[in-house]
Amino acid sequence: MSHDRPNFFAGPYLDRRAELREDANWIEAARADDATRYLLARGSQQLLHVGAAPGIVFLERDAPPVTAADPANWLLLGWFRGTRVVMVDLPLQATVELPPHTRFEELRPLAPVLDAEHAGLLAYARALALWRARQRYCGACGTPTVPSHAGHCLVCADPACAQQYFPRIDPAIIVLVSDGERALLGRQPSWPARRVSTIAGFVEPGESLEDAVVREVVEETGVQVANVRYDSSQPWPFPSSLMLGFFATAKPGSLVRLGGELEEARWFTREEITSGAALAPPSQSISWRLIETWLKGAV
Euclidean distance between the first and the last CA atom of the chain, given in angstroms as a whole number: 14
Helix (H) or strand (E) holding 187: strand 182-187
Cβ burial of 109 (10 Å; 0-12, 13-18, 19+) is: exposed
Please compute Rg for the chain using Cα positions.
Answer: 22
What's the pLDDT band for 46 if we cut at 50, 70, 90?
very high
- For residue 180, give Cα distances in angstroms to 5, 248, 250, 251: 25, 10, 9, 11
Q: How many CB atoms lie within 10 A of CB 276?
A: 9
Sort residue 162 into left (φ over 0), alpha (ψ -120 to 50) or beta.
left
Who's near 176: CB < 8 A, 6+ residues apart? 183, 184, 198, 246, 247, 248, 290, 291, 293, 294, 299
- Domains, the chain: 18-134 (3.90.79), 170-295 (3.90.79.10)
Query: Which tens digits make up the pLDDT trace of 181-191?
Result: 999 999 999 99
pLDDT band at 299 (very low <50, low <70, confident <90, very high): confident
Are the beta carbons of 219 and 201 closer than 8 angstroms?
A: yes
pTM of the complete model? 0.92
Each residue of 57-113: pLDDT tens digit? 999 999 999 999 999 999 999 999 999 999 999 999 988 889 999 999 999 999 999
